[in-house]
Amino acid sequence: MADNSPPDPTHFRLPDPGLVTRTMAEVAERGQRIVNDFLKRQAEQGSDMDPLNIGGAFLEMTTRLMSDPARLMQAQIGFWQDYLTLWQNTARRMMGAQVEPVIAEDPRDRRFKDEAWRENEVFDFIKQSYLLSARYFQNVVSGVDGLDPKTAQKVDFYTRQFVDAMSPSNFLLTNPEVLRKTAETGGENLLKGLSNLLADLERGKGQLRIRMTDDSKFKVGENIAVTPGKVVYQNDLMQLIQYNPSTETVLKRPLVIFPPWINKFYILDLRPRNSFVRWAVEQGHTVFMVSWVNPDARLAEKGFDDYMKEGVYDALDAIEKATGERQVNAIGYCLGGTLLATTLAHMAAKRDNRIRSATYFVTMVDFEEAGELGVFIDEEQLRALEERMQKRGYLEGAEMATTFNMLRANDLIWSFVVNNYLLGQEPFPFDLLYWNDDSTRMPARMHSFYLRRMYQQNDLVKPGAIELLGVKIDLRKIKVPSYLISTREDHIAPWKSTYRATQIYAGPVRFVLAASGHIAGVVNPPESGKYSYWVNEALPPDPEEWFRGATEIAGSWWPDWQRWVSALAPERVPARIPGDGGLTPIEDAPGSYVRVMATD
């Protein structure tokens, strides 16, 4: 069993004086450079004291809270009664009695995984004090009557951000694991952590950009995104990759994948063991992948219609030249799925039937209940974002990454603060986190349209409200077979929101719900043995009713999709080699577009 007693001062090793001197000198030098960089960026970008419009939301909440003092007093009395019980229990425990906790942490909460949080009376008291306070804050703000839903959501979200930040696990003197490490190393962990902090500030040019993984261990095209293939077409917005076959015969109908351009395509081709691309090739698909460009200011005026024309339509033309096949199966992931649905509605109006089936990975088309991302979509924030994008011509990739990380702050922010800065450890090499940190920019015109017309106004589900390339978009005209895969713990595209598409598309729809989240629930190869999925042939309007009638099946949903898509067009032909058709290969996969970093 681990030693959970407080560190013995007689065993506290002093740090090397030379190391301290060198570290402090480095802090002075690097710190001055970081501050200068930060001030320069602030002068260039301007400063907004409340860019997220939090102050107004909390002012309204406080005003309404004060209008019902009895409820606030009741909450305070309950909190102090719990706190008094905790004091009494801690005193009894120190005298040797066995007591039950007043409040217990969630078993899945990794912040308190160290046994000292339970075995040591002092740290158990600190932990329970925090949990009681956190529950009190969240109960108070969630119980305020009269707030409009958007304001209530914002208050709840930022209250949780505050509560998460104040966790005792995030501070040196209240984290037993950090105290133990400090005693063992003589404080060298803190010096190393300070060096890590400076390095992350330098990466962000004065703003903190936390390193989540050892990025020196990964290189695109060498040990991630390594499924062999060729870039067979490119334009300003994308490269089209055709992958080499691994079977003697392939399905006659090619498969094309449209990933989101919020991130890079190789989430579906991380390593051979978890690559959806490799697996699809092994199932006999001729796989084409769109690799979006990482845009800069030159592409500021590219809009959603350009992604439709130069992304989907140009890819379809290129695939026909490469294979001789006019009709394809298509997959869209997240925003790529939104683009796919929009294009299918456009094609329906034009009587273009080249896409014969559509698969949507965690895709929203109805944004009425967009989940916690809606916290960032109000008029004040959109206006501030558009002003910043207008100056640069694009949204910085790091800004989008920070937004997504805030949705899971304990896992994607605070755990790395503790590991990198307090424990002074190097982050673990993890392919998924390397991809997560390889952020992409968003063209200003496209991103403004996407946030305003879809997230804020929810125009995509209003027939004819959006016009693209001369056609009024009506999703109800989509008649091709559709396969919708959503994930139960998705913070980005909540499954109950993605389910709404089942009531919109006119063609046959299969809805499948996978366990886990936006990424892990999708990237779940059969060999991993992880997670499960739910199926239900009925599609009632209420997603909860669908789930109550669903059957849970162990393992990956990938084979279920393969049975569905191959049954639509089972005919096979000799395997196709990239370059054997009407397109000459440009370069080896994964191509050059995917290698452009947002920091370049």
Last residue of a domain, one of 187, 203, 219: 203
Average pLDDT over all residues of the chain: 88
Q: How far is Cα 588 from Cα 230, in angstroms, rounded to an integer?
A: 4
How many CA atoms lie less than 13 Å away from 539 in the CB half-sphere? 19
What six digits make up the tokens of 233? 């077409």
3-state SS string over 473-505? CCHHHCCCCEEEEEECCCCCCCHHHHHHHHHCC
CA dihedral sign, ordered 42, 47, 53, 54: positive
The total of other beta-carbon atoms located within 10 Å of residue 268's CB is 24
Q: What is the pLDDT of residues 357-405, one digit of tens each?
A: 999 999 999 999 888 888 888 888 888 889 889 889 998 888 877 877 8
First to last CA, the chain: 48
Residues 182, 243: one domain?
no
Lowest mean pLDDT among 22-36, 118-132, 550-564: 22-36
Q: How many structural domains compose the chain?
A: 2
Residues 175, 290: one domain?
no
Residues 187, 300: one domain?
no
Q: What is the pLDDT of residues 293-306, one digit of tens each?
A: 999 999 999 999 99
pLDDT of residue 258: 98
> How are the residues of the chain apportioned to helix, strand and coil, as percentages rounded to the nearest 5?
50, 10, 35
Nearest residue to 345 via CA among 312, 310, 301: 312
Residue 13 domain-assigned?
yes
pLDDT score of 34 more than 80:
no
| The length of the chain, given as a count of residues | 600
Residues 195, 238: one domain?
no
How many CA atoms lie less than 13 Å away from 476 in the CB half-sphere? 7
Q: How far is Cα 293 from Cα 536, in angstroms, rounded to an integer?
A: 38
Lowest mean pLDDT among 46-50, 195-199, 406-410, 461-465: 46-50
Nearest residue to 510 via CA among 332, 343, 357, 288: 357
Lowest mean pLDDT among 3-7, 148-152, 163-167, 201-205: 3-7
- Are 110 and 415 in contact, with CB atoms under 8 Å apart? yes
Residues 566, 512: one domain?
yes
Nearest residue to 424 via CA among 125, 23, 1, 140: 23
Residues 163, 279: one domain?
no
Residue 402 domain-assigned?
no
Residue 540 domain-assigned?
yes
pLDDT of residue 24: 47
- Reply yes or no: is the peptide bond before residue 590 cis, omega within 30 of 0: yes
Provide the CATH number for the domain around residue 276: 3.40.50.1820
Last residue of a domain, one of 188, 203, 218: 203
Residues 198, 235: one domain?
no
pLDDT of residue 563: 98
Residues 244, 141: one domain?
no
pLDDT score of 593 more than 90:
yes
Residue 563 domain-assigned?
yes
Residue 411 domain-assigned?
no
Q: Which helix (H) or strand (E) holds 18?
A: helix 17-45
Residue 208 domain-assigned?
no
Give CA torsion, residues 366, 369, 373, 374, to 10 deg.
110
Q: What is the pLDDT of residues 220-268, one digit of tens each?
A: 999 999 999 999 999 999 999 999 999 999 999 999 999 999 999 999 9
Residues 192, 337: one domain?
no
The residue-averaged pLDDT of 486-503 equals 96
Residue 211 domain-assigned?
no
pLDDT of residue 22: 57
Residues 274, 153: one domain?
no
What six digits make up the tokens of 131? 């949990």
Q: What is the pLDDT of residues 445-484, one digit of tens each?
A: 999 999 999 999 999 999 999 999 999 999 999 999 999 9
The total of other beta-carbon atoms located within 10 Å of residue 437's CB is 22
Residues 167, 284: one domain?
no
Given the structure tokens 């991302």, which residue do they identify? 373
Beta strand residue intervals within 283-365, DSSP E = 287-292, 328-333, 355-361
Q: Which helix (H) or strand (E) holds 256?
A: strand 255-258
pLDDT score of 501 more than 70:
yes
Residue 351 domain-assigned?
yes
Residue type, 484: L
**DSSP code, position 124:** H
What six digits make up the tokens of 181? 């490490």
Angle between helix 188-203 and 176-185 (nearest 10): 110
Q: What is the pLDDT of residues 110-148, one digit of tens each?
A: 999 999 999 998 889 999 988 998 888 888 877 777 777
pLDDT of residue 319: 98
Residues 243, 145: one domain?
no
Alpha carbon of residue 556 to chain centroid: 20
Residues labelled as active-site residues: 334
- Reply yes or no: is the peptide bond before residue 443 cis, omega within 30 of 0: no
Range of the domain at 310: 229-391+441-595
pLDDT of residue 600: 53
Last residue of a domain, one of 164, 187, 203: 203
Nearest residue to 324 via CA among 582, 123, 499: 582
Percent of the chain with pLDDT over 90: 59
Q: Which residues contact 190 (CB under 8 A, 6 or more apart)?
A: 172, 182, 422, 424
Q: Which helix (H) or strand (E) holds 231?
A: strand 229-234
Nearest residue to 286 via CA among 588, 584, 580, 594: 580
Nearest residue to 192 via CA among 62, 348, 19, 63: 19
